[in-house]
Structure 1
């Protein structure tokens, strides 16, 4: 099967603005493929290059070497078949929840009435029916994340890129949002590349978990098939004996990299 998203020998090196002789390689010689309908999470130490890899997949960052393929075709420019849900809120404060949800449709030239009807449907799907006229400052953090989720999925992307989208939420709201994403994903089975620091979250949601090394020059050092039954409730699945086994196996690989990343941050400080 042709991968939905494929990274071939990706390297990303950045040059210092102040001293062009100084270079930092964030990602080195990385290969990774996500199949259509597959939910893949990437975990690794803080600052190891997870978001860099996601930006390359979105077409927001050109790699120094290597290539990205989208359903077998080399990516040039922005990945038009992907939707991107950012860690930081990307809602426009001057637009209502509904207007935020349909912004992408409007930019693509969809007729206003049809876009609004579809927007209302998506607000209902993420549990925000009746909140379309509220502005971001009138919504809770979890509600704003639901708007952002609807904003991403309304465009029906073939690939969904998610960069720690729930990290700022309290644990109860976070679990609700994780289950919401799994329900929506299960309905259409899009390819998902999910970046997270939370190993529990990665295991609970994914088909596969990829572990990245501490930077510089991060690259995959472990790959784990998550053979837990679906559908899943992210809170209940943590009690499954196999979940505990997988957590231990992945943590055995991840632990040393987290310690390396921590020591590197201490030296930089």
Structure 2
């Protein structure tokens, strides 16, 4: 019998506990007993209330944060240090303001030792693929929010990572630009079929883009409390798919689990503000 293919990314019983800066005796557990796997070529989204540790999990997967306990594996191998098989698209701006769009996209290749001419050629090709072929000489302040996000996407994909980690990458965009970016990501993913771990607050976005949606409980000590397969046909248009009966059915099933956690998280935030 053929050996089972390990997932691209596996988190097993991960816990992350932090010590308060102003009081070393105080500890806060962000996530606890988190087990999560993303198969090669699979698009998985994680949703949950504000403060449930979604970004913490992404940092663990990237190797930027070592868990207090538990293990992380990348294609069956224990993760040690940075996850060099992953590309990370941050929620906040990640472009270097003193470099042009082309120079930003080619930077990662140059840091890896790719000759400048080859790095420039690959960067130009990726700018064209994200619809910015004529904007390589523009600096970040000369680009719209959507164009900066496209540049950031090219910056990640030019490195051809096996795993793509995305932390609410489109949350700051207007709805029209956001849907365009979502469709672009899906089209590029359809071509390459990389493993994607996608963090979002938007349940509609999670369902429209994913193969599977994982629901996290409210913090502290947040953990997965639900996992839902998304069996909508691909390729998808994120705007059109939201009006289909099956989309609505999946949305209702996930929201039935997520709703109480969102309310719980909201009440906790109010208590913290009143403290």
TM-score (structure 2 length as normaliser): 0.97
Q: Secondary structure at the match of 2:215?
A: strand
Give ranges in structure 2 of 5+ residues lacking alignment. none
Q: Secondary structure at the match of 1:235?
A: helix
Which residue in 1 is equivalent to 2:138? 134
Give ranges in structure 1 of 5+ residues lacking alignment. none
Map 1:113-128 → 2, pairs under 5 A: 113-128=117-132
* Distance in 1 (alpha carbons) for counterparts of 2:187 and 2:22: 47
Which residue in 2 is equivalent to 1:206? 210
| 1:24-77 CA distance string (max 9 Å, x none) | 000001100000000000000001100000000000001000010000000010
- Structure 1 residue 237: Cα displacement: 0.3
Which residue in 2 is equivalent to 1:97? 101
| 1:199-246 CA distance string (max 9 Å, x none) | 000000000000000000011000000000000000000011100000
Which of 143, 152, 155 aligns to 1:151? It is: 155
Which residue in 1 is equivalent to 2:42? 38
| 1:138-159 CA distance string (max 9 Å, x none) | 0000000000000000000000
Q: Secondary structure at the match of 2:22?
A: coil
Which residue in 2 is equivalent to 1:238? 242
- Structure 1 residue 182: Cα displacement: 0.2
- Structure 1 residue 21: Cα displacement: 1.2
* Distance in 1 (alpha carbons) for counterparts of 2:159 and 2:255: 36
Map 1:5-24 → 2, pairs under 5 A: 5-24=9-28
| 1:4-35 CA distance string (max 9 Å, x none) | 00001000000112211100000001100000
| 2:73 paired with 1:54 | no
Q: Secondary structure at the match of 1:266?
A: helix
| 1:93-127 CA distance string (max 9 Å, x none) | 00000000011001011001111011110000000
TM-score (structure 1 length as normaliser): 1.00
Which residue in 2 is equivalent to 1:83? 87
Which residue in 2 is equivalent to 1:266? 270
* RMSD, matched Cα: 0.4
* Distance in 2 (alpha carbons) for counterparts of 1:242 and 1:35: 24
| 2:257 paired with 1:253 | yes
Which of 179, 183, 195 aligns to 1:179? It is: 183
Which of 224, 229, 239 aligns to 1:225? It is: 229
Q: Secondary structure at the match of 1:102?
A: helix
Q: Number of aligned pairs?
A: 269
* Distance in 1 (alpha carbons) for counterparts of 2:87 and 2:33: 25
